[in-house]
Structure 1
Amino acid sequence: MLIVAFGASTSSTSINKILASYAAHLVQGAEVKVLDLNAYSVPIFSEDTEKEIGQAEGAKAFLAEIAQADALIISFAEHNGSYTAAYKNLFDWSSRIEREVYQNKPAVYLSTSPGPGGAGNVLAMAIGSATFFGAQLKSSLSIPSFYENFDLATGLFKEAELAEQLKQVIESLS
């Protein structure tokens, strides 16, 4: 089983990428590929640019990675209550090529933030639109106050209850 995981952010210190990677590695016996959204460069989406260049190469490469996956784990970063601009732009380009961006793959949606909201707003938006874009959403979880609940030095959760909740969410992919 190939799990493709990514944090919906281009930050080099993305806590959502850390969470997606951690979660993906909980799947027993799975091969894990963690994507870095910086590898899928696309211009700012507009119909004019699309007419000029056609399909953006970064979006085609992103869709090709998803096509290889048996399952997806996506952790959504939240900027001002919504998707990050970089993720939304890549998603927009991708959806112009393949409306069902997530290609009917089983998926787990996660989110986290440094604060107590755990990026819950963006997670709710992603959950609400999952079926429109070809995600077979199996489960989701928001992790509040990431730095208080996850030890970056050890790469483990400090809170056993949160670790168990995440494990149960990930088991929905089996």
Structure 2
Amino acid sequence: MKKIIAFAGSNSSTSINHKLILSVSEKINNKVEVIKLTTYPLPMFGEDIERKDGYSETLKNLLSIINKADALLISVNEHNGTVSAFFKNVLDWLSRIEYKFLEKKNVFLMSTSNGRRGALSSQEYTAGVLPRFGAGEITRFTLPSFSENFKEGKITNTELNSELELKLSQFEASL
């Protein structure tokens, strides 16, 4: 059985992307450990901070968790049409301590928002940058109009739920 680490790229305490992560992680047949990136606080990345302070134990702990995983389940939020500064900062720090921190790890990449595009711009950015860090195969799913299509911890739109099930089976087959 493969180990999958799951997290949302959001730092909101009411993150709909975290709700999506919780729901989808229950559908996976492998062992999934859901974490919150806010448990690993990092200062805003800057070369001066990196030079002065080096790499924090918090960052090393997060990297260790990712290194022990066989694959990742990530759901990204969107701020003003792009990836959130919070998530970008996490990527910046991880890639500085170990550039290929996702070496050969397959990723199930999701995004959601209350808009019709479901944070697609953020997902596209993330799908484009993860291979730089060594990510293997990336399977993608977008949930648009979260408030309309997600109720009581489940995707209620049957077409979207069927798409999710298909893509999850593709992801698991790739592990």
The question of a shared fold, defined as TM-score above 0.5 by the shorter chain, is answered with yes
Say if 2:67 and 2:101, in contact at 8 Å, map to a contact too. Answer: no
Q: How does 1:73-112 map to 2 (within 5 A)?
A: 73-112=73-112
Name 2:26's counterpart in structure 1: 25
Name 2:142's counterpart in structure 1: 142
Superposition TM-score, scaled by structure 2 size: 0.92
Please say if 1:168 is aligned against 2:133: no
Name 1:7's counterpart in structure 2: 8
Name 1:130's counterpart in structure 2: 130
1:38 counterpart letter in structure 2: T
Deviates most, 160-169 or 97-106: 97-106
1:172 counterpart letter in structure 2: Q
> How far does the alpha carbon of each residue in 1:50-99 deviate from its partner, in whole angstroms, 9 at most, with x for none?
11110132221211111111211101100111111111111111110111
Superposition TM-score, scaled by structure 1 size: 0.93
Unaligned runs of 5+ in 2: none
Q: How many residue pairs get matched?
A: 171
Say if 2:101 and 2:133, in contact at 8 Å, map to a contact too. Answer: yes
Say if 1:76 and 1:112, in contact at 8 Å, map to a contact too. Answer: yes
Say if 2:74 and 2:108, in contact at 8 Å, map to a contact too. Answer: yes
Deviates most, 53-62 or 38-47: 53-62
> How far does the alpha carbon of each residue in 1:20-65 deviate from its partner, in whole angstroms, 9 at most, with x for none?
222222112x221111011111111111111111013222121111
Say if 2:104 and 2:134, in contact at 8 Å, map to a contact too. Answer: yes
Distance, in Å, in 2 between the alignment partners of 1:58 and 1:91 is 14
Distance, in Å, in 2 between the alignment partners of 1:162 and 1:40 is 32
Offset of 1:9 from its aligned partner?
Answer: 0.6
2:4 counterpart letter in structure 1: I
1:158 to 153, 156, 159: 156
Name 2:56's counterpart in structure 1: 56
Structure 1: which 4+ aligned runs deviate by more than 6 Å?
none
Offset of 1:138 from its aligned partner?
Answer: 3.4
2:84 counterpart letter in structure 1: T
For the residue of structure 2 that corresponds to 1:136, the secondary structure is: coil
For the residue of structure 2 that corresponds to 1:172, the secondary structure is: helix
% identity of equivalent residues? 38
2:154 counterpart letter in structure 1: L
Say if 1:138 and 1:172, in contact at 8 Å, map to a contact too. Answer: no
Name 1:117's counterpart in structure 2: 117
Distance, in Å, in 1 between the alignment partners of 2:103 and 2:16 is 26
